[in-house]
Structure formats: C-alpha cells, structure tokens
Structure 1
Amino acid sequence: MSAALPPLLKGVASEDEIHTVLGGMPHNVTIEMDLALWEVARRAEPHREMLLGTPSSEGVTRYTYTDGDDRYVITYTRHSDLTAAKFIDDLKGPKKAAAKLVGFDGAYLRFTGELRVERYRGEALVERHVDDALWELMYFGKAHA
C-alpha cells in the first residue's frame, strides 16, 4: 500500500477500505494472479470431473498421460501443508448459510513435498526426475476430502 494514502484518508476511509481500493488498481499483482488463475480454471473445465476427483487429503496425488508408446506419470508426495483455506470461511450472513445449504466446500490448498516425473516406453522406465516442489490446488466446487 502506498505510504502516503493512509494519512491523506484518515477519517475518510478505513484501512480495510483503502486495501480494497488499492487491490482493484490496474497492474496489481494479486489481481493479475487472480485473472491468470481464472484463465487456468476456464481452460481446465473439460477436465472438471478428473480434477474434482483428486484426493486432496491423501499424501500422494498421481496423474498419468499416455502418448502412443510413451506413458508419463507425475507423482506428488505431500510432506507439509502451507495453506488450507476453505472459501466458505470468508463468507458471512445469508451467503454463508446458502453456501452451507448447497454443500459448497471449495478450497485453496498449498503444500510442499516431492515431485516425481517418470516416462515409460511400454513397461520400461526410460527417464525419471525427482525434486522438491510446491503444489497448489484450487477447488471451485464440491471438493472431495
């Protein structure tokens, strides 16, 4: 936040109101990240059922992709949670009641662990890469625990 704004707006706007206004300014990193996430979510729509079925509460998440004779397996082993935010916790009043009524439990999860990418040709492992990683999952609908 610009250091000059709070003194100029003292008695005119609360600190929360100032944060809200500044958050909507052009080229705000948070807004740009939100728009980028929205674009990812829009492009992921054809894969919605697979994404909603991702077992976020388990310690291992695995995706497999096949391309001809090659099969790629991406495995993430979760070690430590950094963030586990349920969107419903930010709602108040009637919106929160309605969200509970329809069973909404969308969430944003961020955690660390090990990422393993493997490439198989037929049944033979031909390539493997393993490293530490940061992983994020965002659910906009009914998340599976």
Structure 2
Amino acid sequence: MCGVIPIMKHVFVGAGVVGLLSGGLVVASGGSAMAKSDLTLSAAHKVIHRGQPLHLAGSVGDDAGLRRTRFCLQVRDAGHWSQLGKCVEPYRADGWTAVFGFDTRLLTRGKYSFRAVGVGLRHKKHVIYGPSPTVHVTVR
C-alpha cells in the first residue's frame, strides 16, 4: 500500500501540470482571437434607373493593423459570385482603417446583389478581408 500512494501522488501532479499547460494554451489562443476586422459596403441608392451610375462605398477596419489590400466588387450572378470591374486601392487609409469606392453602370433591369472583398496585392484570389454583408440594388 505504501508503494501505491507515491505513484498516485505522481499521477495527480502530472495531471495538474497538463491542466496548467492546456489552460495556458487556451488563454494564448483566446488572446489572438480577439483581433477583429470589419468590412462594410453601402450603396448611395437602393433603386436606380437603367444606365444611371451606381456609387458604392466601402470601408474596412482592423484592430490588429490594416494589411495592404486591394478591394474588389463582386456581383451575384446565376448562383455564384463573380468580380465586376477592376479591384481598387483605398483612397484614404491609415494604420487601422481604409475607405474605398466603386462606380459602375448597370444596363439591364433587375435585382442585383453586391459584396466587397479585400484581396492580397500579389494573389488576387487570396481573400484577406470579407466578404462584406450583401447590398441589394434594383435597376428599373
């Protein structure tokens, strides 16, 4: 019986060390998950006439520091998202936020859904920010 107590004591101490280590990992991973980024997109008008310019404005904020990014406008077409026009660089940016905009003309009547994504400068398929919430516009 005397030999069992030191072994049990060693098992409890080992379990305590594992518990402390795993607790430390949870705290470390929880701290890195606190960084947030927000990407927004809005339309100047929700209803426009065919051929009228559509102005969309977007912004991004990142409390971990803004990464160099280009922003692309996407439109939902036939069940999937496709890029509309060229990606743009922000026209105003600091270390934490950036503002960008898109202008386009929609020539056919219908209902459109738009979103923005922030992509890497080198790899245009690598999404860094977004997608933004969807913006709906009707063309009459």
When the two structures are superposed, what TM-score results if normalisation uses the length of structure 2?
0.22
Q: Which has the higher helix share?
A: 1
When the two structures are superposed, what TM-score results if normalisation uses the length of structure 1?
0.22
Q: Which structure would you say has the larger RCO, counting Cα contacts within 8 Å and 6 or more residues apart?
A: 2
Which of 1 and 2 has greater Rg? Answer: 2
Q: Which has the higher strand share?
A: 2
